[in-house]
Structure 1
């Protein structure tokens, strides 16, 4: 009987064992597919996200940057915006210079930030949250009624609003049109503490003992800060958003800001921008390039790529090992069959061919099942490894599918070859029929 026909007959007659092989092979292929899906999605994510990520150049005083680095060394921060309370009120960047640099070529967007520490004059401030070790430290740095006026160009300039950890629940946010106004946005717990609503006037007292009236135009809620060091020491109820001009005025530095950030459209031209900008700023100021966002994306992608690569090879090795164990156990039961074929004059090459055809058919069926159901299961498994499930919406390319087939062939071939080696080295003269 032809060895190809024998392979088909064996799989049909040993349906239970065949289904077990198909189940194990399909499971291994789905695991490999999960890793390939992650790799493919990361490649697309890298291409889509790195392109719009220009570098960011920070303009601030040298003293401010030294203070910021010193204070931030003992605290965790996840973004490049941090404004130490110890440095508040030392705004030394001229708004005119900041806007002059914004008109240079290659500037895609810019943000101007300022801040002031003031005392609540007409309202009560909620007590600090002592659950945070930073908030516990704050008791030695902040008085009971001290709040931070955090000046921005617009809400979207703040990383907490960008990450949707802060969101406006009533009224509106701070816009560029609020420049020069006394409009502010307060946190929900502060509004509840003093029964403050949209349109109400609150009063604050600055370090010069001057009382200013602020109009509440919005109320925001905080789901969690993302690391603004020393900004009211992670207590949003003590953070009031306003235009940067108002914060500068309250700090007694009208016309000055703490720092400005310029997002460049082309990171390759960053050096040229810094050289041109250095000609327009006085010596007390300093430009610092920060590509932390770019590095964060790159690091995240590289870390997940390594996870995906290890996952793929782990699936290949584990699948090969499990298949080998099953085939080796099955081979022991087939010694009589192989011995009889050899006695009838069948060549060992054709016997080996029969084994490989059997596992090849199993692989073919498993690939079909993986194609039909693999996307669902790979997304389900991948979501347990990576929380960003949106990346699994990227379809696999032809090259990834080819890799899946090749790895499947390698896995099945290794397992079949090892099990076949055990069978063909058996002492057939000792086989008892």
Structure 2
């Protein structure tokens, strides 16, 4: 009788042991498959989140490359043409850049009172020229809100248009479409600008802007062409102080940085490219939590199952010592006896894996969705509980980090879709069969080291 037939008869004759082994394998298969399915579903959800949000990479001054401050070095600048070249790289979806200079209000217009004491001189404010104001980090994060009008875009770059803060608009009775006359830093060059939009900066009037030292209520955002016209006395190409690139895919950050450094070369000296994936991290936090839980549960169940199987197989082999002794005495080779034991395990494991594939996806979808819902709700409550620092405070003394402010329109993901792929089933099969064969090899190898005479005479 060949070992394949003997394996089949053995499984049928020992139905109790076969059912226990089948149940053990079924639990292992379901848990391992659930872990793999949750990993796959969360990975897909993360990828979808990254693609929907994209990735923001900021080009800004690198203080670490400025050298000795005592040398009187000025802040570095980069040509707008170079930034335009980077904006045309294949990884970029949209981009913007900004440049700034001192500007003065003309006529009867007045700055908002109560701010810092004339850091830019009497009547002076900061005119920030931007290519696309909607891509500025403060607008994208929701810190600034456009109340009326439209954002400045690349299509408007040669026009003379402005975004003004609501307090400056109220102070001077300005609305969208009104004209404002500005004078450049040389206090000679003037230009008339149209109010394209009015925005809100939540910072108090008395809080000096950390970078420019003026009241947030008096900050102006203008088109790059318009602000360049005020600086007509400056020779050479338009210089940019910082830029923001919105990528097609967050996974493209590395490729974009490499190509940007190659395309710009030494023009990037004094600058750094920083990725801002805060929105993606906020959305995918719950996914990482349930993936970690599922992975730990999968490994614990796999190890526990392997231990149980080893004990079951070891007990079964000891109970069949005389059977093995008779077969060895009849000339059966040890390899075939081990193959028979392995085949019995493989058959049971294959059946268990097949059955688990029928209901594990639905079970995983239900359990995973329930777990994700709880994690997403907890994340939402944490985001909702965030409070900004008190007016005039940095928040440090209150234990508040302003950078922890939640990103708007980036709600934590609370849904996943579980799909069973052939590759997942193959992975579970490989793990299950590996556990089964390992559990078989250890006790069977120990018994088969004995001679047939020792097995039959000692009985142990």
TM-score in terms of structure 2 length? 0.52
1:113 aligned residue: 98
2:300 counterpart (283, 303, 318):
318
Contact 2:112/2:167, CA 8 A, preserved across alignment = no
2:228 aligned residue: 248
Shift of 1:172: 0.8
Distance in structure 1 (CA, Å) of the matches to 2:121 and 2:420: 57
Distance in structure 2 (CA, Å) of the matches to 1:73 and 1:379: 50
Shift of 1:323: 1.0
Distance in structure 1 (CA, Å) of the matches to 2:119 and 2:429: 63
1:2 aligns with 2:2: no
Matches within 5 A, 1:385-424: 389=413, 398-414=422-438
Shift of 1:124: 1.4
Report the CA distance shift for 1:180/1:351 in structure 2 as closer, same or farther (over 3 A).
Answer: closer
1:22 aligns with 2:26: yes
Shift of 1:186: 3.2
Shift of 1:18: 6.3
Q: Deviations over 1:90-129 (max 9, x none)?
A: 9895x8xx49x87xx989988563212346761316769x
Q: Deviations over 1:33-79 (max 9, x none)?
A: 33345667788999x89xx99x99x9xxxxxx9xx3337889xxxxx
TM-score in terms of structure 1 length? 0.54
Shift of 1:173: 0.9
Distance in structure 2 (CA, Å) of the matches to 1:373 and 1:25: 13
Q: Deviations over 1:284-321 (max 9, x none)?
A: xx633999479989xx9xxx9x9999999867653431
Contact 1:113/1:257, CA 8 A, preserved across alignment = no
Contact 2:98/2:131, CA 8 A, preserved across alignment = yes
Report the CA distance shift for 1:400/1:325 in structure 2 as closer, same or farther (over 3 A).
Answer: closer
State which structure, 1 or 2, has the greater radius of gyration over its C-alpha atoms: 2
Report the CA distance shift for 1:367/1:167 in structure 2 as closer, same or farther (over 3 A).
Answer: farther
Distance in structure 2 (CA, Å) of the matches to 1:187 and 1:421: 81
1:218 aligned residue: 197
1:70 counterpart (44, 63, 66):
63
1:35 aligns with 2:39: yes
1:366 aligns with 2:356: yes
Report the CA distance shift for 1:415/1:329 in structure 2 as closer, same or farther (over 3 A).
Answer: closer
Shift of 1:3: 1.9
Aligned residue pairs, count: 366
- What SS class does the counterpart of residue 151 from structure 2 fall into? coil
Shift of 1:171: 1.6
Runs of at least 5 residues in structure 1 that lack an aligned partner in the other structure: 59-64, 75-85, 129-138, 276-285
CA RMSD of aligned residues (A): 6.5
Contact 1:331/1:419, CA 8 A, preserved across alignment = yes
Report the CA distance shift for 1:325/1:236 in structure 2 as closer, same or farther (over 3 A).
Answer: farther
Contact 1:40/1:396, CA 8 A, preserved across alignment = no
Q: Deviations over 1:208-242 (max 9, x none)?
A: 45687654322345799xxxx96548996564321
**After alignment, is 238-247 or 398-407 more displaced?**
398-407
Distance in structure 1 (CA, Å) of the matches to 2:174 and 2:368: 50
